């Protein structure tokens, strides 16, 4: 993936990436990464994503690549921006580049300090220099996997086969979370999807192959009622190849609810459900040995 950063005349930055923000929070995380490297507040960065006319290349928002792949590209572009600002200040003030220090919102050289905004205005408008724009591209040799463990507590009505997930815990190793709140809600969302996969979502066809569960009245998905208590904990690690130690997390979060819930049903009833969803009918037939 690639990322492009442009210095604006107010000392702010524009970050352009191709990865698509679809609710997973990549706009926020990538802005955080750029702000960390550039040592500025997040509100000094305007992010533009997924406009194929102006965005640099990105493989797409899949394979959990947003933070891990594009995040590394943002780090490279931001570090290049720091270097170019130092080179620009060295040229503008005719001083040795080794005497120039980047301080985020200002630049210091010898015994003088100039704000980044003043430098940007002079370099773009008055000094005849090019507007500073940098691009970073990153592609990894490997894709370090995240890990997740899921623990489900269920209650089963042995008279009807009805199942209720009363408590669910996910323990996630996605490296060092850059934004723990966003990771948490991704895990919660994946857990809710997993509960639907395990207990509710069932595509049915008639004899002619037409889908008959073609509305949310027939095709049931989890609501807040089915998601009683979802808890998330982190087992932090540090991934050397990831941005600030982060790994991916997007897809692994849906992997554990179904097997954990089905195993919990087995421990409660001794009924092993082999096909999903584990409906009350299947469980009751198992209890009755029918």
243 CB-near residues (< 8 Å, 6+ apart): 33, 67, 68, 71, 72, 74, 75, 178
* 8-state DSSP, 106: E
Per CATH, 2-137 and 147-287 having the same topology is answered yes
Angstrom distance (rounded) from CA 168 to CA 257: 8
pLDDT in tens, 73-103: 999 999 999 999 999 999 999 999 999 999 9
Q: How many CB atoms lie within 10 A of CB 289?
A: 6
Q: Domain 2-137: give its CATH code.
A: 3.30.365.10
pLDDT in tens, 151-193: 999 999 999 999 999 999 999 999 999 999 999 999 999 999 9
Greater pLDDT, 126 or 82 = 82
pTM of this structure:
0.90
Angstrom distance (rounded) from CA 216 to CA 60: 29
- Write down the residue that tokens 């208590």 correspond to: 229
Angstrom distance (rounded) from CA 168 to CA 174: 19
Helix (H), strand (E), coil (C) string for 11-52: CCEEEEECCCCCCCCHHHHHHHHHHHHHCCCHHHEEEEECCC
Quick one: pLDDT at residue 45?
97
Q: What are phi and psi of 116, to 5 degrees?
A: -60, -35
CATH 3.30.365.10 fits 147-287, yes or no: yes
Q: Mean of the pLDDT values across residues 249-263? A: 94
- Write down the domain spans for the chain: 2-137, 147-287
Among residues 163, 156, 151, 170, which one has the least CA distance to residue 196? Answer: 163
């Amino acid at each position: 993936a690639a990322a492009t950063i442009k210095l604006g005349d107010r000392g702010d930055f524009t970050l352009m990436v191709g990865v698509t923000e679809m609710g997973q929070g990549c706009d926020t995380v990538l802005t955080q990464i750029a702000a960390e490297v550039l040592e500025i507040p997040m509100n000094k960065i305007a992010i533009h994503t997924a406009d194929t006319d102006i965005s640099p290349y990105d493989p797409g928002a899949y394979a959990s690549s947003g933070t891990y792949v594009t995040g590394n590209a943002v780090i490279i572009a931001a570090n290049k921006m720091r270097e170019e600002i130092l080179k620009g200040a060295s040229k503008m003030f005719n001083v040795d580049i080794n005497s120039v220090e980047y301080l985020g919102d200002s630049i210091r050289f010898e015994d003088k300090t100039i704000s980044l905004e003043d430098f940007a205005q002079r370099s773009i408008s008055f000094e005849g220099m090019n507007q500073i724009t940098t691009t970073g591209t990153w592609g990894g040799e490997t894709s370090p996997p995240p890990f997740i463990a899921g623990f489900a507590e269920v209650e089963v009505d042995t008279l009807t086969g009805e199942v209720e997930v009363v408590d669910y815990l996910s323990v996630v190793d996605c490296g060092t979370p850059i934004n723990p709140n966003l990771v948490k809600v991704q895990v919660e969302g994946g857990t809710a999807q997993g509960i639907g996969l395990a207990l509710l979502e069932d595509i049915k066809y008639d004899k002619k192959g037409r889908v008959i569960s073609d509305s949310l009245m027939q095709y049931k998905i989890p609501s807040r009622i089915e998601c009683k208590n979802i808890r998330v904990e982190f087992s932090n690690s540090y991934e050397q190849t990831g941005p600030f130690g982060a790994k991916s997390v997007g897809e692994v979060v849906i992997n554990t609810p179904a097997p954990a819930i089905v195993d919990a049903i087995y421990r409660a009833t001794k009924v092993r459900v082999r096909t999903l969803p584990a409906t009350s009918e299947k469980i009751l037939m198992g209890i009755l040995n029918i």
